Amino acid sequence: TSKTLLLIRNFGRMSGMSLVEQAKKAAAEAAVDNHVQDGFAVGVGSGSTVVYAVDRLAELVKTKGYKLQCVPTSFQARELIISNGLNLSDLERNPVLDVAIDGADEVDKDMNLIKGGGGCLTQEKIVAANSKSFVVIADFRKLSETLGTKWTKGIPIEVIPMAYKPVQKKIQEKFGGEAVLRMAKAKAGPLVTDNNNLILDWKFTTAPSSWQDVNQELMMIPGVVDTGLFIKMAEKAYFGMENGEVETRG
């Protein structure tokens, strides 16, 4: 109810939580409450919004005695699962997941996503693709009408290290714009993914008319492992809004 939402908001303010953090938390909790059931195998995404989802999973285990198997999408997700005392599993033991819950960098009106700002796109896509349902959680800043209008840091593309130069050239020649090698925060060298690969962030100049076609063409370039374009994969998205409410798509 709106009263409850107001209470949550006020509590957030009192605890010094920013509006964005409150929004992430609200989206994550709504998604877990609506999509996770006892006995589920759950794909655990990466990023800061997922932290709230894992908190909620741990709460369900403690308070309701839920038995869950959790499959991580990254080193960070693995650590989160372990530190919250959840059961750590993998796709060998749970090749079919009941649900995967993950953040996104942008979600368009057709529920297509840009992901990979955190560099974990390949494992995130594998986990999402092997889940009966894939649920996205995000704050209001990620909502967009047309893909590529909100996330301006480029489309993340994971590449095999020895191929990064030719892949970079091919992307630029074929699609224009600039495919920039992502550097590690410390600037000591390129960012290395959990799969020991590199990331190119493709900053396009004009948005393509079909992201699906572009994604297929990118995937055909030898050396490309995967892209941060998640086309027609998400079933439902939860957005924490500035007014404290949670909006859904899908």
Chain contacts with ligand ABF (rule: CB under 6 A): 45-49, 102-105, 115-118, 120-121, 124
Q: How far apart are CB 18 and ligand ABF at their closest, in Å? A: 13
How many whole angstroms separate alpha carbon 74 and alpha carbon 128? 13
Is the CB of 170 or the CB of 215 nearer to ligand ABF? 215
Q: How far apart are CB 2 and ligand ABF at their closest, in Å? A: 26
Are 180 and 201 in contact by the 8 Å Cβ rule? The answer is: yes
217 is catalytic: no
Dihedral sign (CA 86, 91, 93, 97)? positive
Is the CB of 115 or the CB of 170 nearer to ligand ABF? 115
Q: How far apart are CB 158 and ligand ABF at their closest, in Å? A: 11
Is the CB of 105 or the CB of 201 nearer to ligand ABF? 105
Bridge partners of 138?
239
Find the DSSP H helices in the chain. 2-14, 19-35, 48-64, 75-83, 121-129, 164-175, 211-219
Tell me how far apart the 2 most distant CA atoms of the chain are, in Å: 57
Dihedral sign (CA 126, 129, 130, 134)? positive
Say which of 92, 124, 178, 235 is annotated catalytic. 124
How many whole angstroms separate alpha carbon 162 and alpha carbon 95? 30
Is the CB of 10 or the CB of 83 nearer to ligand ABF? 83
Q: How far apart are CB 173 and ligand ABF at their closest, in Å? A: 27
Catalytic residues: 124
